[in-house]
Chains A and B, each alone.
Chain A
Amino acid sequence: MGYTAMRLSRGGYLIREGFRSIKTHSFMSFATVTIIMACLIIMGSISLLSLNIDALIDDLENQNEMVAYVDEKLSEEQARELEQKLLSLDNVQDVEFVTRKEAMDNYFSKFDDYVKEGIDEEVFRHRYVIHLVDIAFMADTKAQLENIEGVGDVLAHQDYADAFVTIRNIVSIVSLVLTVILVFVSIFIMTNTIKLATFGRREEIGIMKMVGATNAFIRLPFIVEGMVLGILGGGLGYLVQWGLYSLLAGRLMGTLTGSFITLVPFSTVALPLLIIYLGLGVFVGVFGALNAIRNYLKV
Chain B
Amino acid sequence: MVRMENVTKVYDSSGTVALDSISLDIEEGEFVFLMGPSGSGKTTIVKLITGEIKANSGKVIVNDFDLTKIRRGKLPKMRRTLGVVFQDYRLIEDMTVYDNVAFAMRVVGAPGREIAKRVPYVLDLVGLEGRERRLPRELSGGEQQRVAIARALVNSPRMIIADEPTGNLDPVRSLELMLLLEKINEMGTTVVVVTHEKDLVDALGRRVITIDNGKVMSDGMDGVYSYEIE
Alpha-carbon gap, A226 to B72, bound state (A): 25
A183-234 residues with Cβ-Cβ distance < 8 A to B are 203-204, 206-215, 217-218
Given A212-B155, A299-B51, A299-B53, check contact A206 B76 (CB 8 Å): no
For B73, the chain A residues whose CB sits under 8 A away are 214-215
Contact call A217/B107, Cβ cutoff below 8 A: yes
* Residues of chain A lying within 8 A (CB to CB) of residue B104: 207, 211
**Could you tell me the distance between the alpha carbons of A208 and B107 in the complex, rounded to whole angstroms?**
6
The segment out of A5-13, A55-63, A72-80, A82-90 that lies at the interface is: A5-13
- Give the nearest-CB partner of B105 in chain A: A211
Q: Give the chain B neighbours of A217 by CB distance below 8 A.
A: 107, 109
Asked if A210 and B79 sit within 8 Å, CB to CB, the answer is yes
Contact in complex: A5, B76 (CB < 8 Å): no
Contact with B along A243-254 (1 / 0, CB 8 A): 000000000000
Decide: B76 and A210 in contact? CB cutoff 8 A. Answer: no
Contact between chains at B112 and A5 (CB < 8 Å): yes
What separation, in Å, do the CA atoms of A13 and B84 have in the docked complex?
24
Find chain B residues with CB under 8 A from A214 CB: 73, 76
Q: How far is the CA of A212 from the CA of B159 in the complex (A)?
A: 14
A-B residue pairs in contact (CB < 8 Å), sample of 24: A5-B112, A9-B111, A203-B90, A203-B92, A204-B103, A207-B103, A207-B104, A210-B50, A210-B79, A211-B104, A211-B151, A212-B78, A212-B79, A212-B108, A212-B155, A213-B76, A213-B107, A213-B108, A214-B76, A217-B107, A217-B109, A299-B51, A299-B72, A299-B75
Apart from A6-B111, A203-B90, A212-B82, list 6 A-B contacts with CB within 8 A: A207-B104, A210-B84, A211-B104, A212-B155, A214-B73, A299-B52
A24 nearest in chain B by CB position: B94
Please report the total number of A residues contacting B with Cβ < 8 Å.
21
Q: With A213-B76, A213-B108, A299-B53 in contact, do A207 and B155 touch (Cβ < 8 Å)?
A: no
Cβ < 8 Å to B, chain A residues 101-117? none
By a CB distance below 8 angstroms, the chain B residues around A9 are 111-112
- For residue B115, which residue of chain A has the nearest CB? A9
Question: A272 at interface (Cβ–Cβ under 8 A)?
Answer: no
Within 8 A of A (CB), among B62-113: 72-73, 75-80, 82, 84, 90, 92, 103-104, 106-109, 111-112
Instruction: Tell me how far the C-beta of B10 lies from the nearest C-beta in chain A, rounded to whole angstroms.
Output: 17
| Tally of contacts, chain A with chain B, CB under 8 A | 57
Contact check, B109 vs A10: say whether CB atoms are below 8 A apart: yes
- CB of A222 to closest CB in B, whole Å: 14
Interface magnitude class on chain B: 20 to 34
Across the interface, A6 reaches (CB within 8 A) one of B50, B53, B72, B109, namely B109
Residues on B with beta carbons closer than 8 Å to the beta carbon of A5: 111-112
Nearest A-chain residue to B83, judged by Cβ: A211
Q: Which chain B residues border A2 with CB–CB below 8 Å?
A: 111
Task: Indicate the member of B73, B76, B78, B84 with the most A CB atoms within 10 Å.
Answer: B76
A6 proximity list for chain B (CB < 8 A): 109, 111-112
Nearest-Cβ distance from residue A254 to partner chain B, whole angstroms:
57
Contact assessment for A206 and B90 in the assembled complex, using a CB-CB cutoff below 8 Å: yes
- Of the listed residues B52, B76, B107, B112, the one surrounded by the most CB atoms of chain A closer than 10 A to its CB is B107
Alpha-carbon distance between A211 and B109 when the two chains are bound, in angstroms? 11
Q: Mark A1-38, 1 if CB is under 8 A from B, else 0.
A: 01001100110010000000000000000000000000
| Cβ contact within 8 Å between B79 and A211 | yes
Complex CA distance for A218 and B73, rounded to whole angstroms: 13
Residue of B nearest to A297 (CB): B72
* Interface residue from A206, A211, A215 paired with B155 (Cβ < 8 Å): A211
List the 7 closest A-B pairs by CB distance, nearest first.
A212-B79, A212-B80, A213-B107, A212-B76, A211-B104, A214-B76, A208-B107
Q: How far, in angstroms, from A213 to B104 measured CA to CA in the complex?
A: 8
Smallest CB-CB separation from B152: which chain A residue?
A211
Instruction: Compute how far the CA of A185 lies from the CA of B82 in the bound complex, rounded to whole angstroms.
Output: 42
Are A204 and B92 in contact, with the CB atoms below 8 A?
yes
- Closest Cβ–Cβ distance, residue A19 to chain B (whole Å): 15
The smallest C-beta distance from A295 to any residue of chain B, in angstroms, reads 14
Q: How far is the CA of A83 from the CA of B50 in the complex (A)?
A: 82
In chain A, what residue has the closest Cβ to B111? A6
Say whether B51 contacts A211, CB under 8 Å: no
